[in-house]
Chains A and B, each alone.
Chain A
């Protein structure tokens, strides 16, 4: 299984861009990178996913390096409500059309006023 490595914590000033890195050097060619976040003890929330092209949606942008060994989640204008634990996940195929997400420890992002 492709494993991910993230820094345990990061700070970001309110209004600035938050750039959250993730290493996934053992990722396979057809495995997707997913990002979720968890605010306090609420259920995790989907943010974005990608395979090899950069992706953008209303929440964030995902930049994946050309060799796919790492990626960066970008929150363009962080607000206090973005304070959360952010999980970078490599989706793995578990057979019979089923895919599994293995959550690691994530990065705790603190947005500072």
Chain B
């Protein structure tokens, strides 16, 4: 089954404790993205990657890092989490096919930083 998986699905942590949210896709997609969703603000893009070793900032990259060492994986790293990073996070992937860019989203990771 074609899918995007994220782990963990739920995480409660404390300020300053480094954490990584993993994202993996099995569709051989070139493009992957991370979004955060907050009440009243909609989905905002954090980082995206166009292929292995190629990443770029989205609209809200501060406080986050990413890496793309393999095509299928795109982990999101919070080196020193703060309470304002409490949010619902989504990973997405899509293939580059001309005009058609259907993004497949993961199930989401709900992060709480105390």
Contact B103 A101 (CB under 8 A): yes
Interface residue tally on A, bucketed by range: 20 to 34
Query: Quick one: CB contact mask for B68-80 with A, threshold 8 Å, 1 for yes?
Result: 0000000000000
B residues less than 8 Å from A32 (CB atoms): 99
* Bound CA–CA A17/B75 (angstroms): 41
* Bound CA–CA A106/B40 (angstroms): 10
Contact A105 B101 (CB under 8 A): no
Contacts between the two chains (Cβ within 8 Å), count = 59
Contact A100 B90 (CB under 8 A): no
* Bound CA–CA A23/B97 (angstroms): 26
Query: Quick one: CB contact mask for A92-113 with B, threshold 8 Å, 1 for yes?
Result: 0010111111111110000000
Secondary structure class of chain A's binding surface, majority of residues: loop
A residues less than 8 Å from B18 (CB atoms): none
Give chain B's interface residues, CB within 8 Å of chain A.
Answer: 4, 31, 35, 40-45, 48, 50, 54, 56, 58-59, 88, 90, 92, 96, 99-108, 110
Give chain A's interface residues, CB within 8 Å of chain B.
Answer: 32, 34, 36, 41-46, 49, 51, 87, 91, 94, 96-106
22 A-B residue pairs with Cβ-Cβ distance under 8 Å, sorted by A, are A32-B99, A34-B101, A41-B110, A43-B92, A43-B106, A43-B108, A44-B92, A45-B105, A46-B102, A49-B101, A49-B102, A51-B99, A87-B43, A96-B54, A97-B96, A98-B31, A100-B48, A102-B45, A102-B59, A103-B42, A105-B42, A106-B42
